[in-house]
Amino acid sequence: MEPFTTLTAVAAPLDRANVDTDAIIPKQFLRKIERTGFGKHLFHEWRYLDYEGTKENPEFILNREPFRSKAKILLARDNFGCGSSREHAPWALYDFGFRCIIAPSFADIFYNNCMKNGILLVRLKPEEVDQLFAVADFGGTGLIAVDLDKQCVCAMGKKFFFEIDAFNKECLLKGLDQIGWTEQFTEKIAAFDDTLPTEKPWLA
């Protein structure tokens, strides 16, 4: 996982509430367990006018420049990521290029899945998200900056602060998933295993 420290990028405004994981990555594409290759199917039914994905919908935000090639931040509305718990949803978002999603609220399982896959999810007040949408809607030329260490989103001279639990913050800053976090303590785990039979022989 790549460490997340700061990010300054174009933000794609997805002005929809209650976007579920089947809209993020439809069920027909859940055919493999590798984390790559799902970006081309992200928001498939909205991005394309045909089932095969050969005809783009010119009205959809991710089919328009600069969002299709430069957006690394996604702006959304309430309850983003609701629905089934499929981990393919954050895989598709990450594979497309998104590293941060900002919305008033997220589904809990989706929130945790994104954090474990290197995507920072930022909860802001609805009125603060409205202001970021105004920046993003300005022809795609307005950049949004996210500073994880300071827990701050900056745009057009304004700062919006967000909360994040200490463990998720540390993992993202170091670029570690939960397995990577555990591997930091390999030597201590090995030492514990070595002493356990002597200290607690009844467990051997």
pTM of the model: 0.89
Going by pLDDT thresholds of 50, 70 and 90, the confidence category of residue 196 is: low
Cis peptide before 66 (omega within 30 of 0): yes
CA-to-CA dists, residue 168 to 6, 16, 73, 112, 129, angstroms: 15, 26, 18, 9, 22
For position 89, which CATH number holds?
3.20.19.10
Q: How many domains does the chain have?
A: 1
Is 47 part of a structural domain of the chain? yes
Is 201 part of a structural domain of the chain? no
Is 189 part of a structural domain of the chain? no
Is 192 part of a structural domain of the chain? no
Is 30 part of a structural domain of the chain? yes
134-149 residue pLDDT tens: 998 766 678 999 999 9
The Cα–Cα gap between 155 and 66 comes to 17
Across all residues in the chain, what is the average pLDDT?
Answer: 91
Contact in structure between 116 and 93 (CB atoms under 8 Å) = no
Domain that holds residue 158: 6-176
Is 26 part of a structural domain of the chain? yes
